[in-house]
Amino acid sequence: MLAFHLVEIGTLQAGQADALIVAVAAALWLVGLGFKVAAVPFHMWTPDVYDGAPTSAVAFMAVGAKAAGFAVLLRLLLIGFPMAANTWAPIVGVVAALTMIWGNVAAIAQTNIKRMLAYSSIAHAGYLMVAVAAGSSVDGAAGAVSAALFYLLAYGITTIGAWAVVLALERSDGTGTSLDDYAGLARRRPWMALAMSVFMLSLIGVPPTLGFLGKFFVFGSAISAGLVGLAVIGVLTSLVSAYYYLRVVVYMYMRAGEPEPRAEVWLTAAIAATAAATFFLGLLPQPLLDLAVRAGLSAPIH
């Protein structure tokens, strides 16, 4: 039986493997997993799939599939192809920049909440790609992995909560996903509007939410690796994202709308739990940060 040992693959590259073949293999892995995590230019499927698929399935794809994709991508590039870092790191950096820029700019034009969150998902793939690029630095690899893991956790909690709100407001015929359907939500269901506001602020990266800490650690790992340009692009595109995220808050609090049926109890509990976690874990992140740091230090990278 053939075994796929990443550590041995990475060791063999030290003078025993053809550099061109290693670079091509790393590029092919990057293309395949770039499609999985919806990074530019492999993102084309995301808006249509998010818009057309059942919202519960989309929530799983937005969190579970992305987390799994980045877990594999980090292990493959940092453990299996460390000797080819000079080849794949610049490519990952360009992909990260393009993904952050396009995801945030395209989201501005969306009036459907599902398509907006789809482009938001693309943008967050770009932020995570920043951590992958930072992992090419020998000294900063462990910190970059820890930052990526913490970001995945923060993004996962926040995104599950946001999609739970979308699911609560979506009607059985598929309507209820327009921004206009969120108008006046604060008057009709203030707790849900508050929860959605917390999720939007976290996705922007506003303190003291989990999203702020996630971006802080990712951009910090980029600066430590000398990728100051990527960190600057990340900060600037986060400012761009404030427009379309805060637009949801404006609709909920500053516009009148029509009433809708109440959400199921389990959905209400999910929204409340994720909103509380997004806010309070942002205030007390140390246990999660310790777990991320231990995981990063234990990874056999470089």
88-127 tens-digit pLDDT: 888 899 999 999 999 999 999 999 999 999 999 999 999 9
Confidence at residue 144, expressed as pLDDT on a 0 to 100 scale: 86
Give yes or no for residue 5 having a pLDDT over 80: no
Confidence at residue 44, expressed as pLDDT on a 0 to 100 scale: 87
User: Which is nearest to 302 in space by CA: 132, 130, 85?
Assistant: 85
| pLDDT greater at residue 201 or residue 19 | 201
Rounded to 5°, the CA angle 167-173-175 comes to: 60
205-254 tens-digit pLDDT: 999 899 999 999 999 999 998 899 999 999 999 999 999 999 999 999 98
Give yes or no for residue 86 having a pLDDT over 60: yes
User: How much is the average pLDDT of 119-143?
Assistant: 88
Confidence tier at 85 by pLDDT (50, 70, 90):
confident
Report residue 66 as tokens.
Answer: 């992305």
What is the total residue count of the chain? Answer: 302
Q: Indicate the domain borders of the chain.
A: 6-298
Cβ atoms of 98 and 126 closer than 8 Å = yes
209: left (phi over 0), alpha (psi -120 to 50) or beta: beta
Give yes or no for residue 72 having a pLDDT over 90: no
The Cα–Cα gap between 129 and 131 comes to 5
